[in-house]
Amino acid sequence: MARLLAWLAGTLLVLGLAAGGLFLAALDSQPLVSRSATISPSSVAQARWLLQANDPRRLRSGEARRTAIPAALIDDGINYLATRFLHGRGTLAFNDGAAEIRLTVPAPVLPGAHFLNFSALLRESDGQPRIANARLGRLPLPVWLLEPALETGIRQAGFDREWQLARHALQELRFEPERQQVIVAYRWQPALLEQARSLAVTADELVRLRAAHEMLAALVAAQASGTRIPLTVLLAPLLTSEGSDQLAKRRAAIFVLAAYLSERNLASVIPEAASWPKARPTLPTLFGRVDSAQHFVISAALAAWAGEPIADAIGVYKELIDARHGSGFSFADLAADRAGTAFGELLIKQPARLDRLLQTPIADADLLPALTDFPEGMGERDFRRRFGGPGSPAYQQQAGEIECRLFALPLYQGLGKS
């Protein structure tokens, strides 16, 4: 028995050393992908156009569609997912008529700078993307094992039906490096939309969303339609919650409030909401401005549900569109967007700080810096003349001033460094 135990211990030691050796061999001292988490406003515009052109609510069952997806949009999407879920970075690059996905994830458990770098080359085969080769650091990975492992992981995670539906709907996939785009042809299956909705909103989330909506309806029930009311009158009670699922309740509340301020019908994304009580329309304000309240709450919801880079990108995109077609570019609106994004980040990452805020009456100045001297109402020509674009020094100076004022507020101090 002693010899058997010694043999088992020795075998485990050898296997452990082998696994540790493979892990160390997979580590790199330099990241394969080095970039910021920023999402470009152009990607937001491209995503919006694609959704409008392929609105599933207007597609018939079995309808065949073909669309071109810009590589830059996929690239930003991969980087966003890697940032949000892996705390790393990602990118898409075309390579010899194929698409290569690259990921870098820091390895903080070891002293010094170490990174796990992963790359996979995808080629089209019979209308489906197939892994041609893959590497983890310096180690080549067996392609014959990767796709079965991926499918097993998807099945174990409970997404097998959605995966099979998507594969069945996909008719063609073609990489076009010369045009920097990916061509996708698919045959629409209505079950995809139902599955997407069930994944987006779980049964528990549906309960919390309904409770938040009913509270909002009760808060505005005594107001006359169109009445201007301070946003804080709604925000404080909606976010005041107790219990182990406090964070989830607050995310539900900020989502419902954003839908209310954007005048969106919740039933368009949550069919069950069609039977919920109607919330009387009012005009919540920040510093007396309806637009500031809208920008703040919608950005907060985006940050709480989708992540800060998306919220910031959508804010900049909207202002660029307003400069071209709407009320004009407004740094005051951008400040409200940025404050809302910081508030949504705080809601997720620092709930104790939000608890302290809710213990006393909330003032507008707690949420948002003064807006009076930020340039507003600039048409596209005037905006380009004065500030060039989002990357120009003049623009960055204004953006820096917004950040400086925002993170000087007690509520947000320290968030700008996280």
Q: How confident is the model at residue 193 (pLDDT cuts 50, 70, 90)?
A: low
Span 168-183, pLDDT tens digits: 888 888 888 888 888 8
Q: How many other CB atoms sit within 10 Å of the CB of residue 196? A: 14
Mean pLDDT in residue range 126-133 = 82
Stated length of the chain: 418
What pLDDT sits at residue 238? Answer: 93
Residue 17 has pLDDT above 60, yes or no: no
Task: Provide the percentage of residues in the chain whose pLDDT is more than 70.
Answer: 80
Is the torsion defined by CA of 259, 265, 269, 273 positive or negative? Answer: positive
To which residue do tokens 């700008």 refer? 416
Largest CA distance in the chain: 86
To which residue do tokens 């301070």 refer? 230
What pLDDT sits at residue 320? Answer: 47
Written as six digits, the tokens of 26 are: 């997979």
What pLDDT sits at residue 330? Answer: 79
From the DSSP assignment, how many helices (H) and strands (E) are in the chain? 16, 11
Lowest model confidence (mean pLDDT) among 78-92, 130-144, 286-300, 313-327: 313-327
pTM more than 0.95: no
Q: How far is CA 133 from the centre of its chain?
A: 29
What pLDDT sits at residue 418? Answer: 46
Q: How confident is the model at residue 413 (pLDDT cuts 50, 70, 90)?
A: confident
Q: How confident is the model at residue 13 (pLDDT cuts 50, 70, 90)?
A: very low
Residue 325 has pLDDT above 60, yes or no: no
Lowest model confidence (mean pLDDT) among 34-48, 61-75, 248-262, 272-286: 34-48
Residue 232 has pLDDT above 90, yes or no: yes
Lowest model confidence (mean pLDDT) among 77-86, 195-204, 262-271: 195-204
Task: Identify which of 124, 146, 125 has the alpha carbon closest to the alpha carbon of residue 135.
Answer: 146
Span 88-120, pLDDT tens digits: 899 998 877 788 888 998 876 656 668 888 888
Is the torsion defined by CA of 27, 30, 33, 37 positive or negative? Answer: positive
In angstroms, the Cα distances linking 191 to 55, 62, 141, 178, 307 are: 14, 11, 35, 34, 27
What pLDDT sits at residue 197? Answer: 62
CB 404 within 8 A of CB 416: no
What pLDDT sits at residue 212? Answer: 92
What is the chain's mean pLDDT, rounded?
79
Span 18-64, pLDDT tens digits: 344 445 556 778 888 888 877 666 666 667 677 667 766 677 777 88
CB 222 within 8 A of CB 178: no
Helix axes of 393-406 and 331-349: crossing angle, nearest 10 degrees: 50
DSSP helix/strand/coil, 195: helix
Written as six digits, the tokens of 201 are: 């909103």
Residue 217 has pLDDT above 90, yes or no: yes
Which own/partner contact pairs does 386-389 have at CB distance under 8 Å and 24+ positions apart? 387/329
Mean pLDDT in residue range 127-140 = 84
What pLDDT sits at residue 69? Answer: 86
